[in-house]
Amino acid sequence: AQSVTQLGSHVSVSEGALVLLRCNYSSSVPPYLFWYVQYPNQGLQLLLKYTSAATLVKGINGFEAEFKKSETSFHLTKPSAHMSDAAEYFCAVSRDSSASKIIFGSGTRLSIRP
């Protein structure tokens, strides 16, 4: 069975500070991992995805994530937070199977302090 755990339901950082959102996964087979962002009153949109091509994945809006198999982690980072980054972020896991499903974590709300 696959699952993801997001540590911290709410993270608050100052504008210009490092953003670190944590995600740990559980999967019996090599996983595909994703980060999605949700702005208020909207659906989710993809930030980035890991598909085994490279362990460091760059996404949109300056975000990146590193896949660490030894730690079963896929943490999301951004060197310098911007006010527009305030949103809810979801980590998700899937696998390569004809009946595959996408499982999401519980989400982390990111707040940016001026």
Which spans of this chain sit near other proteins (rule: CB under 8 A)?
6, 9, 32, 34, 36, 42-46, 49, 51, 90, 92, 94-107
* Residue among 51 and 72 whose Cβ is closer to other proteins: 51
* Paired sense of beta strands 73-78 and 87-94, if any: unpaired
* Token pair recorded at residue 80: 């310098």
Question: What span, in angstroms and rounded, lies between the C-alpha atoms of 86 and 49?
Answer: 20
Q: What is the DSSP string of 70-92?
A: GGTEEEEEESS--GGG-EEEEEE
Least CB distance from residue 114 to other proteins, whole Å? Answer: 25
Which of residues 56 and 101 has its CB atom nearest to other proteins in the complex? 101
Question: Smallest distance from the beta carbon of 48 to other proteins, in angstroms?
Answer: 10
Structure tokens at 94: 């899937």
Identity of the residue, 70 or 97, whose beta carbon is nearer to other proteins in the bound complex: 97
